[in-house]
Amino acid sequence: MSGGDYLAAAYLVVLLVILVYVVIIGLKLARLDRDLSALVELARRRIEAPASMQEEQREQEEREESRVG
């Protein structure tokens, strides 16, 4: 190997390590994105659940009123 080959190898090693680091950070960000999406979905269900329960209760009350009436 010539001096130029060693020079290229040294700079390529640095570039490779930087790229590997960027890929690892990218994978971690993708995992965080998935976790956050799951949490948003969970929070949305929590908000929607009481509203649907209230609606069901109202419908039941209306049914009972019409039966009495």
Partner 1 sequence: MERGADPRPARRAVDPLVAVPVLAVTLLGTAVGLVFFFAPVDADQGISQKIFYIHVPCALTAYACFAWGAWKAYLHLWKRTPGADMESYVAIHQGVIFGALTLLTGSIWAKASWGHWWVWSSRQLVLFLVLFLFYAAYFMLRFSIDPGPARANLSAVYAIFGVALIPVSFLAIRLAEDFVHPVVFKRSGPAMTGSMFLTFCVAWAGILALAAAFYHVELAGKRLDSRVRELRGLLR
Binding mask 48-67 for partner 1 (x = CB under 8 A): --------------------
Nearer to partner 1 by Cβ, of 11 and 55: the residue is 11
Question: Looking at residue 43, what DSSP letter applies?
Answer: H
Q: Name the residue type at position 35.
A: D
State how far the alpha carbon of 46 is from the alpha carbons of 1, 28, 36, in Å.
65, 27, 15
DSSP assignment letter at 65: H
Regarding 28 and contact with partner 1 (CB under 8 A), the answer is: yes
Total residues binding partner 1 (CB under 8 A): 23
CB 50, min distance to partner 1, A: 14
